[in-house]
Chain A
Amino acid sequence: MNRQVERWMIGVAWLSGIVLLGTVFSIIGYLFYKGAATLTPSLIFGETQPMDALLLRRQVFDGLFPAMVGTFSLVVLSVGWAIPVGLATGIYLAEYSGKTMKRTLNLFFDILAGIPSIVVGLFGFSLAVFLHKHFSERIYPCLLISSLSLAFLVLPYIIRTTQVSLDSLPPVTRLTALALGATRLQNIFYVLIPKSLSGILSGVILAIGRCAEDTAVIMLTGVVATAGVPKSLLSNYEALPFYIYYTSSQYANPQELMTGYGASIILLTICAVLFLLAFAAKRGLTYHALYRA
């Protein structure tokens, strides 16, 4: 009787593996199969010359370039907001907070990490409305609001990876500089952070990936289907993930649908590259740090 259960378990295990691999490869295969043909410069730049587009001399009307610029700006801004605050919070958690404080703070950040992205987007939207009513009439959902909201979204990632990297340093490392007369702050900046750099960096790269792929937050905070390259912080903008979503329901003809596939491939590639970078950072810097020390 036991034998039956054991055999059945092996069957289920292998079946699951095959189903999972089959699904993944079908998804990726399908995208490439349908979209590989569209992977030409005109997918990104439309009718405009690449150099003109890159130097912002001319507008691109039917290419993915504005969306890619939008996504890029979004990522840079969000991570720009999130890194200082996240890093500082992580440092505080790892180095300064007492036990109860640490547990309480971690509870809040776990909750923050668990909030669905659409709710964060809703918050961003509400923030925009609030600022519009009480501060300046010019504030609408825009690049600024979106990047702030995305920053809230990825803040827990950066906090957590910073805290974990610092916490997992061996006790000896902590004591070395202190024994030589360094202050707490000097210890943090000169020894602890450089040693945890690989972990922190991988957290940052993951946050970048999260910002690049998110759709729900930006849907509520200022992304639109056509806006060209973002003109200012307070303007609307396009983004790659939103383009994909929009195309799936609003495509006017088969060609447009094809660009959706092309965009999916580009987005997938960007995320894969970021993912591998995070992995390499985690490994590579550790190696480097060990061998330099």
Chain B
Amino acid sequence: MTKIGETIWERLFLLCAIASVVVTVLIFGFMVVLGLPLFKGGHFFYLLTQPWLPSRHAYGIYPMIVGTMFIASLAVAIAFPLSLGCASLISVIAPRPFSRFLRRVVHLMTGVPTVIYGFVGVFLLVPLMRDLFQRGSGMCILSAALMLAVLISPTMILFFADSFEHVPRPYLDAVDALGGRPVQKFIYVMIPCAWRGILTGCILGIGRALGDTLVALMIAGNAIQVPSSPLDSARVLTAHIALVIAADYDSLEFKSIFACGVVLYIFTTIVVLAVRSLGASGRRQEP
């Protein structure tokens, strides 16, 4: 192959790389540009903190932002102990055959589509919640958070288990030689060593919870209100986009979904940056 041929291919590869970057930036760009009418005149921050009152032409997405944060944090709060417990089982506490089995099941769980979680949630979980709390339709923040927790747990579990595997061998040998039991090894050495991985796993979980659409759309109720209790119905940013897309394209109401898009993009970018900085500081600490 000639030198020119080589260069052409190299340029081609570079072109694809640049195209991929362009797509990333373009996505943000489109959101901003198309939401411009709402952003004009410094309205953006106004938009973020105002309630949704169509009658007054106020399309503030504040209720959706609160809804998103409420459901995402509740989901992670539920998923964290669950995931840490399962990860501890997989790493040290359970006997080898069971730990292998659990890991395989968790791995398989990562392949389950979210629409299935939503579907089962609607027909299995929601009636259960309805009967349990005797309030409303059962479609509330708590139901969505529970299902979301099951959705994000496998990723968190695998991430935690991976971090525990990276604890340096000499430390584990030391604890073994001193007569430490597996659970002691876990609490006193593995958790302190792997705290960065644990934190990263949580942040990744938050990212996934923020970005999911179907579970909240199908189970959280979608009422546009600022929720005050886990048993309230709420709407999240992602579900809002899905619901309003059918509205009249030129209306201000429609433009609000681009504001949601911008907010979501910014949130997940923050998550990515946080994970990166944790990874980088971890690398700096290594000898």
Chains A, B in direct contact (C-beta < 8 Å) = yes
By a beta-carbon cutoff of 8 Å, the part of chain A in contact with chain B is 5-6, 9-10, 12-17, 19-21, 23-24, 26-27, 30-31, 34, 84-86, 88-89, 91-93, 95-97, 105, 107-123, 125-127, 129-130, 152, 155, 159, 183-186, 209, 212-216, 219-220, 241, 244-245, 248-249, 260, 264, 267-268, 271-272, 274-275, 279
Q: For the complex, what is the distance from the CA of A159 to the CA of B14, rounded to whole Å? A: 13
Given known contacts A122-B258, A185-B6, A27 and B16 CB-to-CB distance under 8 angstroms: no
Nearest CB on A from B282, distance (A): 15
Given known contacts A16-B84, A108-B24, A272-B108, A118 and B213 CB-to-CB distance under 8 angstroms: yes
Nearest CB on B from A12, distance (A): 5
* A215:B24 contact, CB within 8 angstroms: no
By a beta-carbon cutoff of 8 Å, the part of chain B in contact with chain A is 1, 5-6, 9-10, 12-17, 19-21, 23-27, 30-31, 34, 81-86, 88-89, 93-94, 102, 105-120, 122-124, 150, 153, 157, 181, 183-184, 186-187, 207, 210-214, 217-218, 238, 241-242, 245, 249, 257-258, 261, 264-265, 268-269, 271-272, 275-276
Which of A16, A113, A115 meets B265, CB within 8 Å? A115
Nearest CB on B from A181, distance (A): 12
* B269:A111 contact, CB within 8 angstroms: yes
Question: Closest residue of chain A to B16, judged by CB?
Answer: A88
Which of B34, B105, B183 meets A9, CB within 8 Å? B183
- CB-based closest 3 A-B pairs: A16-B85, A116-B211, A213-B113
Given known contacts A108-B20, A118-B238, A17 and B213 CB-to-CB distance under 8 angstroms: no
What chain A residues lie within 8 Å of B184 (beta carbons)?
A: 6
What chain A residues lie within 8 Å of B20 (beta carbons)?
A: 85-86, 89, 108-109, 112, 155, 159
Which of B14, B115, B211, B269 meets A215, CB within 8 Å? B115
* A96:B10 contact, CB within 8 angstroms: yes
* A9:B88 contact, CB within 8 angstroms: yes
Nearest CB on B from A35, distance (A): 10
What chain A residues lie within 8 Å of B27 (beta carbons)?
A: 112, 115, 119-120, 123, 152
What chain A residues lie within 8 Å of B84 (beta carbons)?
A: 16
Q: For the complex, what is the distance from the CA of A267 to the CA of B111, rounded to whole Å? A: 11
* B105:A107 contact, CB within 8 angstroms: no
* B117:A27 contact, CB within 8 angstroms: yes
Given known contacts A16-B81, A24-B105, A114-B272, A241 and B6 CB-to-CB distance under 8 angstroms: no
What chain A residues lie within 8 Å of B10 (beta carbons)?
A: 92, 96, 185
* B276:A110 contact, CB within 8 angstroms: yes
What chain A residues lie within 8 Å of B9 (beta carbons)?
A: 185
* A111:B272 contact, CB within 8 angstroms: yes
Nearest CB on B from A205, distance (A): 11
Q: For the complex, what is the distance from the CA of A126 to the CA of B31, rounded to whole Å? A: 8
Q: List 20 A-B contacts (CB under 8 A).
A: A13-B86, A23-B150, A30-B120, A34-B123, A92-B10, A114-B271, A114-B272, A115-B24, A115-B265, A116-B210, A120-B27, A122-B245, A185-B9, A213-B114, A215-B214, A216-B213, A220-B242, A241-B113, A245-B115, A268-B113
Q: For the complex, what is the distance from the CA of A117 to the CA of B118, rounded to whole Å? A: 16
Which of A89, A116, A213, A267 meets B13, CB within 8 Å? A89
* B241:A10 contact, CB within 8 angstroms: no
Q: For the complex, what is the distance from the CA of A128 to the CA of B216, rounded to whole Å? A: 26
Q: Which among B15, B24, B83, B105 has the highest number of chain A CB atoms within 10 Å?
A: B24
What chain B residues lie within 8 Å of A5 (beta carbons)?
A: 187
* A267:B213 contact, CB within 8 angstroms: no
What chain A residues lie within 8 Å of B93 (beta carbons)?
A: 10, 13-14
What chain B residues lie within 8 Å of A152 (beta carbons)?
A: 23, 27
Given known contacts A123-B27, A215-B115, A245 and B214 CB-to-CB distance under 8 angstroms: yes
* B89:A14 contact, CB within 8 angstroms: yes
What chain B residues lie within 8 Å of A114 (beta carbons)?
A: 207, 211, 268-269, 271-272
Further 5 A-B residue pairs, CB within 8 A, beyond A17-B102, A245-B218, A271-B111: A14-B85, A97-B17, A109-B24, A115-B211, A123-B31
Given known contacts A27-B117, A220-B245, A13 and B210 CB-to-CB distance under 8 angstroms: no
* A105:B17 contact, CB within 8 angstroms: yes
Which of B23, B82, B119 meets A260, CB within 8 Å? B119
Nearest CB on A from B27, distance (A): 4
What chain A residues lie within 8 Å of B1 (beta carbons)?
A: 183, 185-186
* A12:B119 contact, CB within 8 angstroms: no
* B120:A122 contact, CB within 8 angstroms: no
Q: For the complex, what is the distance from the CA of A20 to the CA of B107, rounded to whole Å? A: 12
* A184:B85 contact, CB within 8 angstroms: no
Question: Closest residue of chain A to B239, judged by CB?
Answer: A118
Question: Closest residue of chain A to B182, judged by CB?
Answer: A10
Which of B85, B111, B115 meets A15, CB within 8 Å? B85
What chain B residues lie within 8 Å of A159 (beta carbons)?
A: 20
Q: Which among B13, B94, B106 has the highest number of chain A CB atoms within 10 Å?
A: B13
Which of A92, A212, A268 meets B112, CB within 8 Å? A268
Question: Closest residue of chain A to B9, judged by CB?
Answer: A185
Which of B13, B105, B107, B272 meets A91, CB within 8 Å? B13
What chain B residues lie within 8 Å of A279 (beta carbons)?
A: 107
Q: For the complex, what is the distance from the CA of A26 to the CA of B147, rounded to whole Å? A: 13
